[in-house]
Amino acid sequence: MELKRLFDCLDYQLSKFPKEDMFAAKVNGTWKRHSTKEVQETVNALSAGLLKKGISGNDMTVEGADKVAIISSNRPEWIFTDLAVQQIGAILVPVYPTTNPLELEFIFRDAAIKMIFVSSKELLEKILIVAEKVPSLKNIYTFDEVAGAENWKSVLEYEPTFLQKVDELKTTISPKQVATIIYTSGTTGTPKGVMLSHENIYTNVKFSRESFPFPDAPQQKVLSFLPLNHIFEKMATYIFTFSGISIYYAESLETIADNLREIKPDGFTTVPRLLEKVFEKIMSKGNDLTGIKRKLFFWAVGLAEKYDNHTGGGVWYNTQLALANKLIFNKWREALGGNISFVVTGGAACQVKLLRIFTAAQIRVYEGYGPTENSPVISVNRKIPKTDTKFGTVGPPIKGIEVKLAEDGEILVKGPTVMVGYYKRPDLTDEVIIDGWLHTGDIGVWDSDRFLKITDRKKELFKTSGGKYVAPQPIENKLKESSYVEQVMVVGSGYKFVGALIVPSFTMLREWMRDNNIPFTTNEAALKDPRVIELFNGLVDSFNKYFNHVEQIKKFELLPNEWGIETGEMTPKMSLKRKVVLEKYKAAVEKIYS
């Protein structure tokens, strides 16, 4: 069977390893499983229903194809819709549930959205605010049962002739055809629609499967919780479906821990921010221990911090680590279900400290890298052989693509994974794709000649008033190695020296204050205490030694509230919106330089 389009995963899985649990999700407190056969029948019925409702690929061009939007939490219906839209040559436009109304209106009007699927009553109400301003919009359907709203199951009603039409259309869809338009978060202006074809995403799936590697594994399952709106989780979904791995959808971010223990998955994809949260909870529990248990816990963590898969630790180190795994780290693995063999992280730089500790604890975390414009993976650390993983890098490039560094260090990539272009913006496309090379905007270096290491975003480099360039990300990542630092943003563009906005880990800070007999009342009050300020002065000074004089943090401000998606400082994939932070905390920045 020649595979070139994403929806081919259904026929492929059905012919090679039909499953009883291709997808699963909690419904009224019980896991509802969908077999491969059931998924295929549902997807075909939905395709037929969409045709009946007037949705089609028309002339199969990106301009002529109808656009269908989806704004939903992760659930099987999300993938049903994606596959159903693909099969008739229409184009899916996924939108983050956290997208604000102004951006929603822009995306819906720019793409001329004809139909929208939403998951819940709350999201329906959000959509209705802008629906009247979108003249192309004909129908809105909900996945949940919502009073007064049309349910998605009503689209499954069709006549046999429409099902025959679906079978005919599937054979005419070219791998070159655009399968989805993914709009960026718009942190630097209006959102840009990244056009990705079947070939773009499928080849990224194929190359990633071969490189990581992902063999056929119908006995395995994963937990999905990163937003499917982002290409990282969507591409991973197709890796799993083509590999025969079952996908279970977490109920929410708050239930991840419970869901992990329930389904005991073999792996999952994540972002560094969530790993940091997991580690913070682990360390908090460790701090609550007393006596010999507390000593053993921190002995094990200290041992894990020294782990290096390239150098090895010698017989004595490995003996101690084996003991630590038996006494301490086995409980960490049990908390993740007990079966985790891989965790793939991307979207931002992961702390080297966390990579060392989790890997030493036999929770193997593999960091990868790639932008939406490359579908997305450019490089990833490997499962096999272990020497193809190096902490602090994003691994070797995947097979099938070319990667090089420009004179200024910008990472360039070329191959079938590179996007078709930006929707309706050939001017922007020409700026980033030159002679077939995608200019990523990320700055990198080669480590040991074959491992790619990201040093910063080209647009995030800033110059002090003294004319010296500073890359903020390495400084921030180093500072976050402290258990007392929750979040940090380095500032200093146009100023004489480098400063920082720091959000403390209040969980750890409260425990430190308790141990030092300092009463804790509120976050704000704690940050005014001279002893707390002295603690952070010492922390910053201890990390400054890792950087040259120009890069060292001279002054900082402590902030009482964590940055988040809902409060606007983080993107849906949990990357920092630097411009938003600078504007929102303008007074704090001015205080640093007053």
394-443 residue pLDDT tens: 999 999 999 999 999 999 999 999 999 999 999 999 999 999 999 999 99
Burial class (CB in 10 A: 0-12, 13-18, 19+), 171: exposed
**Local confidence pLDDT in tens for the 594 residues of the chain:** 577 899 999 999 999 999 999 999 999 999 999 999 999 999 999 999 999 999 998 888 999 999 999 999 999 999 999 999 999 999 999 999 988 898 999 999 999 999 999 999 999 999 999 999 999 999 999 999 999 999 999 999 999 999 999 999 999 999 999 999 999 865 456 899 999 999 999 999 999 999 999 999 999 999 999 999 999 999 999 999 999 999 999 999 999 999 999 999 999 999 998 999 999 899 999 999 999 999 999 999 999 999 998 888 899 999 999 999 999 999 999 999 999 999 999 988 899 999 999 999 999 999 999 999 999 999 999 998 888 999 999 999 999 999 999 999 999 999 999 999 999 999 999 999 999 999 999 999 999 999 999 988 888 888 888 888 899 989 999 999 999 999 999 999 999 999 999 999 999 999 999 999 999 999 999 999 999 999 999 999 999 999 999 999 999 999 999 999 889 999 887 888 999 999 999 999 999 998
| CB contact set of 438 (below 8 Å; sequence gap of 6+) | 371, 373, 374, 412, 413, 414, 418, 419, 432
Domains belonging to the chain, first-starting first, are 8-173+212-252 (3.40.50.12780), 268-411+441-458 (no CATH), 461-592 (3.30.300.30)
Give dist(CA 34, CA 20) in Å, integer.
Answer: 6
**Cα–Cα distance for residue pair 471/453, rounded to 1 Å:** 14
Exposed (0-12), middle (13-18) or buried (19+): which is 470, by Cβ within 10 Å?
buried
3-state secondary structure of 357: helix
* pLDDT of 1: 58
Tell which residue, 585, 429, 569, has the closest CA to residue 499: 585
| Prediction pTM value | 0.89
Q: Identify the pLDDT of residue 190.
A: 83
The residue assigned the tokens 């782990």 is: 307
Question: Which pLDDT score is estimated for 187?
Answer: 46
Long-range contacts of 432-436 (CB under 8 A, 24+ apart): 432/373
Q: Which of 484, 493, 469, 491 is nearest to 526 (CA)?
A: 484
Q: Residue 575 has what pLDDT?
A: 85
Q: Write the CB contacts of 62 (distance below 8 Å, at least 6 apart in sequence).
A: 91, 178, 181, 195, 420, 423
Q: What is the pLDDT of residues 153-195, one digit of tens each?
A: 999 999 999 999 999 999 999 999 999 999 986 545 689 999 9
Supply the pLDDT for residue 189: 67
CA distance 413 to 402: 6
